[in-house]
Amino acid sequence: MAVAVLIVPNIVMDSVQFVRRGAPLATARRLARPLPFGARGTVLGTRLLVGLSSRTATLLLGGFICLFVVLNSTRFSLRVPPGWEPWLSPAVGLIAGVVGGITNTPGTPLVIYFYALGMTKHDFVASIAFTFIVYKLVQLGAVFGYTCFIDVSGRGLGRPGQNSRMGKSYDTFGPMGPCIATADEIPEPNRLGVRLWVGEALRQDYSTSDMEYDVPEVLAYASGFMTLLPGDVIACGTNHQGLGPLQDGDTATMEIEQIGRFSVRVSDPLKRQWPRQIDREMAQRVRGG
């Protein structure tokens, strides 16, 4: 969970811009036609993303950006003829939604369209802000709920040349619990306190705002190479601070604010032992120090 760009604060900031620009109800009514189609397009685009390569998705987004740059640099006067807006808006909304579902960036087609409508600066900013409020809420609507997940890694246990996923795939790895808090119970998943103890020692104590990507970005990335189905669980990782070994006899307890806490007891039939220390080298590397 979490974030370089916080989704809910973004919604708040866009809402402030939307209201400050005046006549918010008029803007909302004007966008009532394209945005429902945009929501449907987002779902369609996400499904298409499964069958597209990352190169194709990048080229699609780049094409729209290049089109806007060319139109702007050549001062080409792209304008929607009077009376066309009610009929053209649903198609534009659908296209923007598909592009957003594929690239996680619906703004470029809409910018071109709003420019072609000849909007004033105030109307343009208000329309963009309102559009992104709706799209972000649609993206959050794909999440059913949240739970605690202890992301265990078996370091050094994989075969040479294998990636880290093998070290995370042993039986009993990845315990989760104690419940699923539904999305309506956690309106802001990107500012939750996370703590983890090994025995009595507090190993991790941080906020999900210290994570790298927000929930929609994680969903967009994961759906780019696998089909996501109802019931799938996506582990969003950690901030890589306070990591250390677990060994036979240890009890690990995880707690996330507004979700709860649960404990697991570690059992290793081989009774292996490691120095009880924090991996400070990785922590510093992730911090960029």
- Per-residue pLDDT tens over the stretch 257-273: 999 999 999 999 999 88
Q: 252 falls in which pLDDT band (50, 70, 90)?
A: very high
CA distances from 76 to 66, 79, 232 (A): 14, 9, 47
SS3 annotation, 111-133: HHHHHHCCCCHHHHHHHHHHHHH
- Tell me the mean pLDDT in the region 71-84: 72
Are 99 and 92 spatial neighbours (Cβ–Cβ below 8 Å)?
A: no
The closest alpha carbon to 104, from 230, 212, 228, 224, belongs to: 224
Q: Report residue 75's pLDDT band, with 50, 70 and 90 as the boundaries.
A: low
Q: What's the confidence (pLDDT) of residue 163? A: 53
Tens-digit pLDDT profile for residues 217-234: 777 677 666 666 778 888
Q: With 50 as the cut, is the pLDDT of residue 4 above it?
A: no
Q: What percent of the chain has pLDDT over 90?
A: 17
Cβ 92 vs Cβ 114: under 8 Å:
no
pLDDT in tens, 89-104: 888 888 877 777 666 6
CA 127 to chain centre: 23
CA–CA separation, 242 vs 93, rounded Å? Answer: 45
Burial class (CB in 10 A: 0-12, 13-18, 19+), 180: middle
Mean pLDDT value across the chain: 76
Q: DSSP secondary-structure letter at 81?
A: P
Q: What one-letter code names the amino acid at 9?
A: P
What's the rounded mean pLDDT across residues 31-44?
74
Q: Identify the CATH number of the domain defined by range 145-286.
A: 3.90.850.10
| DSSP 8-class letter at 267 | -
Q: Where are the domains of the chain?
A: 7-140, 145-286
pLDDT category of residue 116 using cuts at 50, 70 and 90: confident
